[in-house]
Structure 1
Amino acid sequence: MNRDTLTLQSLFSEALSRFNTKVALQMGSQEMTYGELMSQAQHLAQGLATLGATRNISVGLLMSNCFEYVIGDLAIMFCGATRVGLNDMLSGEDIQYILRDSEAHVLIVDAAFVPIVSLFAAALPHLQAIIVVGSEEELPPGWIAWRDFMQQSFDALPLPPTKSDDQALIIYTGGTTGLPKGVVHTQSAMVLNFLSHVIELGLLDDEVFLLMTPLPHSAGFLLNAGLLKGARIIVERRFNVEEAVQWLKKGRITLTFMVPTMIYRLLDVMETLHDEPMSISLRTMVYGAAPITVARLEQGMKWLGPVFLQLYGQSEAPDFITRLRKEDHVRGLTDPSKLASCGQPVMMAQVCIVNDQGNPVAPGEVGEVIAKTPYNMAGYLHLPEKTQEVLKDGWLYTGDMGYQDDDGYVYLVDRKKDIIITGGMNVYSSEVENVLQRCPGVLQVAVIGVPDEDWGETVLAVVVPDPLIPVRSEDILLWTRERLAKYKRPKFVEFVDALPVTAYGKIDKKRLRHTYWQGESRQIH
């Protein structure tokens, strides 16, 4: 494969044609073969091309998980357009901003979002066509029902070939510190990223995936990697722990993806429903966003086996900067030190830890994690200054603070912006959270800095208590006394029913801080 053929159009048209009669997708009792998926995606690609959606033209996908999302994704690859995936939990304001900023030319949208999109669609100057999936109601003038659009005949003209440096994808970041930023990826970068997924996940030819998280994010990358290997991919609209257990009990699932909170719910339900571990075919439980605790790992090994694989990446370098392998998790039962890490750099990545001057630091010393991969972003859309801040000499400055040990394992200690400065000392909130998460009675925790007249900031722990294990604030403060330096310990504990999350499922510390920083002239003292 030479540089000119490093395009999604080339990669996926060749790969999918190999598995014509195999089942590609399953939702409930509905199935779609690779041949059917390929046919519908190619037909939609021709239709999108007639609407002007070809090379470097943005097409928005705003749907919950469904067949049409996957068809739309592949069609965008085939016609050479740029995919803009929108999470179905975004607010109307965020949807409008993303469609405007990305200059989306076409929007394929679930009928559930018609009332929201109709409020601002006419004010989006670049939006030329809206295709609505699943609509049984009369649509606004000029909008097109998916069913009607797919029944049209389009001229089967050759689609213009894409080039390796064309835009393939714009991912919008969560926007916890302001407006979402559009992260631009090229065709060649996405080809190499999907191949990295295939390699690092160790995919075999008989894979059966279960995906229950939003396809515009990590689940979508896994789905596309699975398609390249001819996997059967079972898609659910959203995570449901009872359905997850039932799928695993059926004994066919080989790979699934969850965040630790979902894994914990799964394990708790399995323990409640069964006395002994089930016989299951699961080979890989992919997770990200946070480490898994030793106690939970022991529970997971008992019920699921040695299947855990942690990934670490960013929108700017999707999913695979580092990987904590299955064998690392097994060793973690006797030597838990590595479980605090997110693993070693993957095959296609280099990682370095640098100080504020950009110079490498010694093993064990905290600095900013920077990464060089062939699938680093091309830049932030319309934000050249922001791009220059994070892309330097081919390195991505991640904004994550961490260190590497002598074996090259990477340990994340905090986001640069989440460091708490109390009395002139740096406190890494994730370090405190990791200690508190092990405290009996703590189900979930977030640590933030709040204003303090004497210290500038003081440490606050916001805790979701475990309903099965009573815990008091005094218990939590006592827990930290033997485990953290005095300046790192929370001075206060606040109990809440749930932590706020962004539309991307991350704990929203911006919202947590807002309660305590209102009226302050700046968010750091």
Structure 2
Amino acid sequence: MTATGTPRGGLARVSDRVMNLAHFLRQAGRRFPGEIGFVHGAQHVSWAEMDARVDAMAAALAAKGVVKGDRILVQSKNCLEMFESMFVAFRLGAVWVPTNFRQTPSEVAYLASASGARAMICHADFPEHVAAARAEAGAIDIVVAIGAADFGPDYNAVLAPYLGTAFRDADVERDDPCWFFFTSGTTGRPKAAVLTHGQMAFVVTNHLCDLMPGTTHEDASLVVAPLSHGAGVHQLVQVARAAKTILLPSERFDGTEAWRLVEEWRVTNLFTVPTITKLMVEHPAVDQFDHSSLRYVIYAGAPMYREDQKFALRKLGKVLVQYFGLGEVTGNITVLPCALHEAEDGPHVKLGTCGYERTGMQVEIQDDQGAAVAPFATGEICVTGPAVFAGYYDNPEANAKAFRNGWFRTGDLGHMDAEGFVYITGRASDMYISGGSNVYPREVEEQVLTHPAVAEVAILGVPDPMWGEVGVAVCVRRAGAALTDEELIAFLDGKVARYKLPRKVFFWDALPKSAYGKITKKMIREEIEARGLLEPPAPARTG
């Protein structure tokens, strides 16, 4: 897009210049220089210190040749340097390309190649990842280590000579990329969703408006997920209001430590996914520490099952906030605020909804041809608005599939009621057809979780010679509970139509989860196949 032009209507755009997102950190450093902005164990860093460190690292990388538009790959567990690297990239006008630190060397090497990374910042614990990335992506000629490592100079040693240097934020336009947000790759290899400075400024404003209104520098946010994806967006929002960020001391989730930090720092908000929320509220420590400071427990990534929702509300009070939104829309599709979360069912409760449209965003349920369907009719959830990403990097085929008539196609199925509340049925890929009838696993999963012996469940369709596809349920029993597959099927009989009943039930000690704590059907299907649980096919159920 050019800086000037004459769109239809005769109005010329004077400028596409926008604020560089790194200015959020500059603002916090100016307004609250001595206040703590970041906590990691015994490490407490003020806003002014963090801003100065980002200036220094930006100057150091610029001296090494990093320029606007370069991609900086970051492979690290949560730490100060990893958090700062976001603002370093933004300040340079470069593109932040964070990986999930649990990914394998070959997976990270693919991200390095797919992003066209020029520089890499890597935690000292991951030398194999550096070697793989360098071998795969020949453009990487700058590597900085977080900690002592053989593969590059230490991050803090690199920035030290430049402390005190005032580094000016790069000039950016609204469509200049700032972040390659890699998708989870549940269907094929991950794709780089291009997030831009202008888009992300809207996202930050929208999060503050819809998810956590009233957030100020007196707030504190606990990080319980990798900063590489949704948690990173959430913490960027905190910086915009100079609310301090608090990391768990270890990359392994510890419920006792999480609740202790909530009490110690009077944490007011946190971002998580339903599985981690469930772990937290079912952990004994929830009753041992004071969590009355919490105002917003924001969960996303998947809908929370109703039984888990009710339990969390009874433990924490009306602090739950749900949002629905893929990385490509940076979480900005719908919101279900605290006021609409109820601990008890009733005629006033909209069971199963993920909320209504986010401010400034439009959602439409569309059929296969792209036409809007009637209220309550099932279709694909599509969205348009300023939070929608700029497209996938260097992937025209994926872009062609993802957009239709200006709408981003989420790939999620659902419906909208007459008031505009959205209900997610499931991923289009999750639906299966049994005997000619569509089955949406989430409906059945909700019923399974009302059984007191079931802690977790996932249902997916598998091939069947008679019915085309049938359902298979994989369950995790609650500690000390006894339950057989026959007992569970008998429990479900009458609660859902018989063709929706799972043909087989497996009980596992745990469900496989992604690096972000999400239960993914792809991983469960792979595990079922690896265990050889589908041969021979189960006999057909009649009735």
Q: Same fold (TM over 0.5)?
A: yes
CA distance in 2 between partners of 1:298 and 1:441 (Å): 16
Name the SS of the counterpart of 2:315 in structure 1. Answer: helix
Give the deviation of 1:86 after TM superposition.
0.5
1:398-409 to 2 correspondences below 5 Å = 398-409=410-421
Task: Identify the match of residue 307 of structure 1 among 319, 342, 357.
Answer: 319
1:353 Cα deviation from its structure 2 partner: 0.3
Determine if the alignment matches structure 1 residue 204 to structure 2 residue 201. Answer: no
Letter in 2 for 1:117: V
1:419 to 407, 424, 431: 431
1:277-426 to 2 correspondence within 5 Å? 278=290, 280-330=292-342, 333-335=345-347, 337-426=349-438
- Tell me, yes or no, if structure 1 residue 167 matches structure 2 residue 177: yes
Distance 1:73-1:40 versus aligned 2 partners, 3 A rule: same
Shift of 1:69: 1.0
* C-alpha distance in structure 2 between counterparts of 1:172 and 1:246, whole Å: 32
Of the three residues 240, 262, 265, the one matched with 2:276 is: 262
Give runs of aligned pairs for residues 487-498 of structure 1, distance below 5 A: 487-498=499-510
- Change beyond 3 A, Cα 1:22–1:159: closer
* Distance of aligned partners of 1:425 and 1:489 in 2 relative to their CA distance in 1, 3 Å threshold: same
Q: Give the structure 2 partner of residue 189 of structure 1.
A: 199
Work out whether residues 220 and 265 of structure 2, in 8 Å CA contact, stay in contact via their aligned partners in 1. Answer: no
Distance 1:503-1:17 versus aligned 2 partners, 3 A rule? same
**What letter corresponds to residue 506 of structure 2 in structure 1?**
E
> Once superposed, what is the RMSD of the aligned Cα atoms?
2.4
Q: Deviations over 1:27-83 (max 9, x none)?
A: 112111110010000111112222332222100111111010111111111111001
Distance 1:279 1:51, change over 3 A: closer
Counterpart in the other structure of 1:118: 131
Residues 1:75 and 2:88 aligned together: yes
- Are the aligned partners of 2:73 and 2:120 in contact in 1 as well (CA < 8 Å)? yes
Which of 470, 480, 504 is the matching residue for 2:516? 504
TM-score normalized with structure 2 length = 0.89
Please state how far the C-alpha of 1:349 moved relative to its aligned partner: 1.1
Secondary structure of residue in 2 paired with 1:319:
coil
Mark the runs of 5 or more structure 1 residues left unpaired by the alignment: 521-525
1:282 CA displacement: 0.9
Deviation at 1:15, TM superposition (A): 4.8
* CA distance in 2: counterparts of 1:348 and 1:469, whole angstroms: 47
Amino acid at match of 2:488: I
Q: Is 1:480 matched with 2:492?
A: yes
Q: Which residue of 1 aligns with 2:257?
A: 243
* 2:145 pairs with 1:132: yes
Worse overlay, 394-403 or 193-202 = 193-202
CA contact (8 A) 2:311 2:343 kept: no
Comparing 53-62 and 8-17, the one that deviates more: 8-17
In structure 2, what is the Cα distance between the partners aligned to 1:3 and 1:16? 26
Q: What amino acid does structure 2 have at the position aligned with 1:186?
A: T
Q: SS where residue 198 of structure 2 aligns?
A: helix
Deviation at 1:119, TM superposition (A): 4.1
Identify if the C-alpha distance between structure 1 residues 477 and 362 changes in structure 2 by more than 3 Å, giving closer, same or farther: same
User: 1:378 offset after TM fit, Å?
Assistant: 0.8
**In the comparison of the two structures, how many residue pairs are matched?**
514
State how far apart, in whole Å, the 2-side matches of 1:18 and 1:156 are: 17
Residue correspondence of structure 1 range 458-473 to structure 2 within 5 A? 458-473=470-485
Residue in structure 1 matched with residue 44 of structure 2 by the alignment: 31
Shift of 1:263: 2.2
* Contact 1:256 1:286 (8 Å CA) reproduced: yes
Partners of 1:450 and 1:516 within 8 A in 2? no
Aligned partners of 1:309 and 1:325 also within 8 Å: yes
Report SS of the residue matched to 2:172: coil
Q: Is the 8 A contact 2:109 2:136 kept in 1?
A: no
Note the 1:430-449 alignment, pairs <5 A. 430-449=442-461
Conserved in 1, the CA contact under 8 Å of 2:112 and 2:133? no
TM-score (norm 1): 0.92
358-367 or 199-208, which deviates more: 199-208
Sort the Cα spacing of 1:458 and 1:299 in 2 relative to 1 into closer, same or farther, 3 A: closer
Farther off after superposition, 243-252 or 434-443 = 243-252
Q: Distance in 1 between matches of 2:283 and 2:528?
A: 36
- 1:31–1:335 CA distance, 2 compared to 1 (3 A): farther
Which among 52, 69, 81 is matched to residue 56 of structure 1?
69
State the 1:261 CA deviation.
2.2
Unaligned runs of 5+ in 2: 1-13, 535-543
- Describe the superposition over 1:268-293 as per-residue Cα deviations: whole angstroms up to 9, x where unpaired: 2247855xx95621111111233334
Q: In the alignment, is the contact (CA less than 8 A) between 1:11 and 1:191 conserved in 2?
A: no
Q: Which moved more, 1:438-447 or 1:7-16?
A: 7-16
| Equivalent-residue separation in structure 1 for 2:488 and 2:140 (angstroms) | 53
CA 1:298–1:500 in structure 2 vs 1: closer, same or farther (change >3 Å)?
A: closer
Identity %: 29
CA change 1:123–1:398 in 2 (3 A) is: closer
Q: Tell me the distance in 1 between the aligned counterparts of 2:221 and 2:459.
A: 35
For each residue in 1:153-203, what CA deviation from the matched residue of structure 2 results, as whole angstroms up to 9, or x when unmatched? Answer: 498675642222211111111112111111111211111111111212214
Partner of 1:523: none
Structure 1 counterpart of 2:161, from 145, 149, 152: 152
8 Å Cα contact 1:63-1:87 kept in structure 2: yes
84-93 or 45-54: which moved more? 45-54
- CA shift digits 1:270-324 (9 cap, x unpaired): 47855xx956211111112333344444433333221110111101001221011
Distance 1:115 1:88, change over 3 A: same
Structure 2 contact 470–502 (Cα < 8 Å) conserved: yes
Q: Distance in 2 between matches of 1:269 and 1:156?
A: 46
**Residue type of the alignment partner of 2:247:** V
| Cα distance, 1:54–1:394 mapped onto 2, change above 3 Å | farther
Give the match's secondary structure for 2:341. helix
Distance 1:2 1:321, change over 3 A: farther
Q: Which of 114-123 and 429-438 deviates more?
A: 114-123
